[in-house]
């Protein structure tokens, strides 16, 4: 996706909206998997996202954009969807199923670092000292919050699973960077992304799990995840990327786990620690440094 005209204010508007939605991922994931496993939850969320985005594309008058995709661009969109809306979540859910959640979260949020790295190789964006400092500050902020200040709580003994999650982070970083190399209209592109995710998650569900209907208690989390968190958030993310360099946007993503920690406290009555404030200061500082 080529930057039409760099506008950091517009970029941040879209990115912050996206960040708020992504912060709800731990909440809907916990509430939406009462009876469903990861494969089933991923399938239903992807299917709902595809349906909602397809309808949004039609009602927004963007349906004609789908006709403009030639064979190459169509399969390019499906390939990006395979990376960013299927493979990323599949590997991430594997991590949550086989390692400590704290450990997985820390490794997961290395993906903004991969954005900066891949931007250098694929987009020829220069990595400045400010970018490096911002990334380091952001990652320290995430690390402090997720460990709650107790660094001994992180045990990187499960190296295979840790590598899978690290690979997942690199996959989403690659997806974000490659998305900037194509000039796709956001509504139609995101619709195709989730068409890809729906097809591949359905196959994965049949191969590694079984078909199951969600319970009544799981419907609301799946609706929220499918419509907003996994659906419209990708449009917001692509719009944000279209207005600013990926290396500028990347550090702000570290706000997501900070907000997620606050939501977990609110929804599940977990204790709020002063260390969260320190983490938030570090993350916000990273955003200002990157400007």
The count of residues in the chain is 291
List CB contacts of 176: < 8 A, sequence separation 6 or more: 84, 111, 115, 118, 237, 241, 246
pLDDT band at 157 (very low <50, low <70, confident <90, very high): low
Residue burial 43-52, b: 16+ Cβ < 10 Å; e: rest: bbbbbbbbbb
Tell me, what's the pLDDT at 154? 64
Mean pLDDT over 108-128 rounds to 82
Chain mean position to CA 17: 13
Q: Which of 36-40, 102-106, 260-264, 274-278 has the lowest mean pLDDT?
A: 102-106
Torsion of CA 125, 129, 131, 135, to 10 degrees: 130
For residue 11, CA distances in Å to 20, 121, 176, 184, 260 come to 14, 22, 14, 17, 21
With a cut of 90, say whether residue 201 has pLDDT above it: yes
Tell me, what's the pLDDT at 240? 86
Neighbours of 175 (CB within 10 A): 25
For residue 122, CA distances in Å to 57, 128, 178, 272 come to 29, 16, 8, 41
Closest CA to 208 of 196, 216, 200: 200
- Where do the domains of the chain lie? 8-243+254-289
Long-range CB contacts for residues 155-158, cutoff 8 Å, separation at least 24: 155/100, 155/103, 156/103, 158/98, 158/99, 158/103
Chain mean position to CA 281: 22
Q: Quote the CA–CA distance of 15 and 19 in Å, as a whole number.
A: 6
pTM of this structure: 0.78
Tell me, what's the pLDDT at 43? 94
Tell me, what's the pLDDT at 205? 96
φ, ψ dihedrals at 138, nearest 5°:
-60, -45
Tell me, what's the pLDDT at 102? 67
pLDDT band at 291 (very low <50, low <70, confident <90, very high): low
Q: Quote the CA–CA distance of 9 and 14 in Å, as a whole number.
A: 9
List CB contacts of 161: < 8 A, sequence separation 6 or more: 94, 95, 98, 99, 104
DSSP state of 153: G
Inter-residue contact 221 to 10 (CB < 8 Å):
no
Helix (H, G, I), strand (E, B) or coil at 65: helix
With a cut of 80, say whether residue 207 has pLDDT above it: yes
Tokens of 279: 């983490």
For residue 53, CA distances in Å to 48, 141, 190, 237 come to 8, 34, 7, 14
């Amino acid at each position: 996706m080529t930057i039409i005209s760099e506008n950091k204010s517009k970029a941040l508007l879209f990115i912050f909206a996206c960040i708020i939605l992504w912060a709800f991922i731990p909440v809907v994931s916990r509430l939406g998997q009462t009876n469903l496993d990861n494969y089933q939850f991923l399938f239903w969320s992807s299917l709902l996202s595809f349906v909602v985005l397809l309808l949004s594309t039609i009602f927004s008058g963007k349906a004609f954009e789908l006709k403009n995709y030639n064979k190459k661009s169509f399969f390019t969109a499906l390939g990006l969807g395979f990376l960013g809306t299927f493979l990323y979540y599949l590997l991430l859910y594997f991590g949550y199923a086989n390692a400590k959640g704290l450990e997985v979260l820390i490794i997961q949020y290395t993906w903004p670092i991969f954005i900066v790295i891949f931007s250098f190789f694929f987009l020829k964006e220069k990595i400045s000292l400010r970018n490096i400092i911002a990334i380091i500050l952001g990652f320290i902020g995430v690390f402090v919050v997720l460990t709650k200040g107790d660094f001994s709580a992180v045990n990187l003994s499960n190296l295979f699973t840790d590598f899978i999650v690290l690979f997942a982070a690199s996959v989403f970083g690659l997806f974000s960077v490659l998305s900037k190399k194509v000039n796709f209209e956001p509504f139609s592109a995101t619709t195709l992304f989730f068409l890809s995710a729906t097809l591949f998650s359905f196959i994965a569900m049949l191969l590694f799990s079984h078909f199951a209907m969600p319970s009544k208690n799981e419907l609301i989390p799946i609706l929220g995840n499918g419509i907003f968190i996994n659906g419209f958030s990708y449009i917001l993310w692509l719009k944000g990327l279209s207005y600013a360099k990926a290396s500028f946007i990347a550090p702000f993503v570290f706000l997501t786990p900070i907000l997620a920690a606050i939501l977990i406290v609110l929804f599940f009555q977990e204790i709020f620690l002063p260390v969260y404030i320190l983490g938030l200061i570090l993350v916000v500082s990273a955003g200002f440094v990157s400007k």
